[in-house]
Structure 1
């Protein structure tokens, strides 16, 4: 039985036959440990002489953006991360200085620490981070973790975080933007409710479902609802939906579109699997990634990983998955051309490709702790979903 929240984010299958051990994750921050993995080339490029300073950022109970903001406030130095790590974990990641000036001294606070590990001649980028290693504890589970052996047969779905986790709305906002229904975008941002949200948040969102309440309840919107406050302020002052949406940082507006693309990808993967397509081995005519993440056509004998289209305005139809993808687009009343947004060109997306299956290495399990490495862009929660088969992923800590 697929949980309701899985269906809402486009996941309608399990790819393993394992019964599931149940349980909970993230009971304590120490239960979810993530360490970033650099490419061999990037690791060898770190020296102890000069260039752009590279640091190891260790953190707990704070996300990457807030940790870097805190470092900037204390030191005046802007550091760039290679990937984002959320707050509900203990994480180690690499951050790099944007200039060749004097490096920051090592320091620590109650939530994070910064340690200089060397210098690089060329700034590190996202491409230098090849994956993450996870050490995860599953609490309150059945004692059968070691009998799970199907870690090489897991579909590369986008995880719950991509869609807002407890409030899965980001993809719905993206779809409304693509439909050019800007009033609906505002309504979703302000008043979309979830059964997992707090009573206070739900009450304020219900009041904001009526435009006439915007001004009256603005001061009651909590500060952590920063996007809602930005949108409300614009709507109160100008009343123009598209202007209010444009006030949202462009990175987040692009994320809304990407979340909807992720929803279509999850649906495509589910549908292809249900239709009996082989998603774990590439075939003649397939588009694949090689072991350097370079995309190309399938070549027999080469070490390649099958890829599925990630739909955008440059959608590539000539794959064996076009039947499923085109059917989904018709159901969603969306065309690839819709991803070019004349009214907001800065959030247009041409699409691309994404690996069909999770590439999991260094897998081991002992007691109720599991260790594994995943390539960049894959979600540990999707592997855990197959191991645990939770009846309610959000209550289980996902």
Structure 2
């Protein structure tokens, strides 16, 4: 694959998941009884709506159906964050693991003893001849470096080189190997181009350059550094924000194939544009429960419903798809207010900030109460404070593009979940005339091409109906470049979006970020490489699986405790990209996966007389 297109054209990698689902151990060594099962745990019962605390339940985001008819059982998902171990599956089909923090050989700096070789960004200079500078020009250069006037410049006549002027004016310098001079002094020089004399000029580096990041990059490195990010109990966006801040880099330089669960041990590949492995490795010493490395220029049936998981919609009483709906309406003030306004649930550290915003709508006053790690709210308030209290559109534009798109995509996910539940409830698990199909093998094989939206579905007819199964069935995420199923299912899309005052036939927006083309998603997914075992234990704070760091530092695999008080189901399986492991667990357990319900099952202070409730995380 062309390395220049990695960030834009690579499909999201699949992932390998290890999970411990903690199953209640009763005196009869059985799972919990029918009487203790929560409502909504059977195949015939759907999830309840928002609870009295204002949290979002599964039914609020369109998740209501199951594939199988077994009764399910009660378990807590992720009692410890270490119960949930997620490893991406790379484009090559291998699991992504952090195994080393060593630097690749090609990025080592070349600094000789007593000699410094300053390599300025190469632009059509084919030689590294140390005699490129004459004695006279070397003297000029030393005079320049000794000059107190930092805006002074000189012209150097280059020898033994066929000088070719750059095609563009953006050249930041020439590549040359300079004769030995003082290391600190020469490190302070930069470069420019004298168009009139068709030769380079040198200016002090202290003078601000237009693009320092590009000027210092060596083309021999390639444009991307790919590495494995291992993290524990931290959201991917927060991790990237922290790395960016510590390395003094822009977050836009990093790209990845999707956010991984916060409450988990996860390993995923990150691509950084023109960032050296040295710079990233140096940050490792400042990280906690995170590390970067690997730098480089069986549950076979039944399927599960390929819902977008609850993490797609946030964990507070104001779900992210409500913000997305406001953005699609170009209601900038409403979108900002939904992000900042008080709510019944959420992070307590933001409570004072939200209360202040709800009371005064004064960004400077609310900003005083924003914790440093709440980057979204901080960015909105800082922009409003600097550009005016009504500059809502500018405040939203100040957010990283991925963050803005997250909200818009959440609305698409909500519509898709709702349509999938209704399609399965009304017509079951058989392909019908008017459905849209794409061979399900594409989930594992990759779509190919540079534009995933180019993959078009086939409309099922009476003539081809027998050629397809429910595994091939897809539904569209709403957008301006998709087709909808014929008949009732297509009319449901129109009906739902009309309730939200959105025109399904006019999804293009003036703001291109919110002009969503749409896509297609399979209704069912089949996991691969499924293994499982049951372990017993006494201490619920002790990890039950190994993360990458545990393997790197030769920590032993956690073992089952004979006659342990508690029991956990440990699962390992592979999923294609853009699927949610929690939705696979939901199919087994038949319980609500929302954070509210899972928190109600969780136990932090068990006693010897009280068995720990079942937990799946």
TM-score, scaled to structure 1: 0.77
Aligned match for 1:21, one of 73, 80, 96:
73
Quick check: 1:33 aligned with 2:82? Answer: no
**Which is helix-richer, 1 or 2?**
1
Correspondence for 2:396 among 234, 238, 245: 245
Match of 2:420 in 1: 269
Distance in 2 (alpha carbons) for counterparts of 1:186 and 1:267: 25
- 2:481 matches 1:309: no
- Specify whether residues 68 and 175 from structure 1 end up closer, same or farther in structure 2 by C-alpha distance, changes over 3 A only: closer
The residue aligned with 1:114 is 292
**Greater Cα offset, 239-248 or 2-11:** 239-248
Say if 1:226 and 1:115 are closer, same or farther in 2 by CA, change over 3 A.
Answer: closer
For structure 2, which runs of at least 5 residues remain unmatched after alignment? 1-39, 41-46, 50-56, 96-103, 107-220, 448-454, 459-463, 535-568, 600-616
Structural mapping, 1:63-102, within 5 Å: 63-68=235-240, 80-96=255-271, 98-99=273-274
Deviates more, 1:95-104 or 1:232-241: 95-104
Please name the residue that 2:162 is paired with.
none
- Does structure 1 residue 55 correspond to structure 2 residue 223? no
Shift of residue 198, structure 1, vs aligned partner = 4.2
Whether contact under 8 Å (1:177, 1:185) holds in the other structure is: yes
Hey, what's the Cα distance between the residues in 2 that align with 1:101 and 1:168? 40
1:254 equivalent in structure 2: 405
1:170 paired to 2:337:
no
Shift of 1:192: 4.9
Structure-1 separation of matches of 2:267 and 2:446: 23
Give the match's secondary structure for 2:531. strand
**Superposition CA RMSD, Å:** 3.6
Would the aligned equivalents of 2:86 and 2:264 in 1 still touch at CA under 8 Å?
yes
In the alignment, the residues of structure 2 paired with residue 391 and residue 81 of structure 1 have an alpha-carbon distance, to the nearest angstrom, of: 29
Distance 2:233 2:48 in 1: 28
String of CA shifts for 1:283-311, please: whole Å, max 9, x gaps: 78623144334334447758973211110
In the alignment, what sits opposite 1:126? none
2:305 equivalent to 1:155: yes
Match of 1:355 in 2: 522
Greater shift, 214-223 or 294-303, is seen at 294-303
8 Å Cα contact 2:475/2:485 also seen in 1? no
**Which runs of no fewer than 5 residues in structure 1 stay unpaired?**
120-145
Checking the alignment, whether the CA contact within 8 Å between 1:56 and 1:93 is kept in structure 2 is yes
Alignment of 1:135-284 (within 5 A): 151-195=301-345, 197-199=346-348, 201-236=350-385, 237-278=388-429
Q: Answer with 1 or 2: which has the greater Rg.
A: 2
Match of 1:143 in 2: none
Structure 1 residue 161: deviation in Å?
Answer: 1.2
Q: Indicate if the aligned counterparts of 1:21 and 1:389 stay in contact, CA closer than 8 A.
A: yes
> Secondary structure in 1 aligned to 2:595?
coil
Asked whether 1:336 is paired with 2:493, we answer: no
Please report how far the alpha carbon of residue 258 of structure 1 lies from its aligned counterpart in structure 2 after TM superposition: 0.7
1:32 positional shift: 0.6
**Given that residues 257 and 347 in structure 1 are in contact (C-alpha distance below 8 angstroms), is that contact kept between their aligned partners in structure 2?**
yes
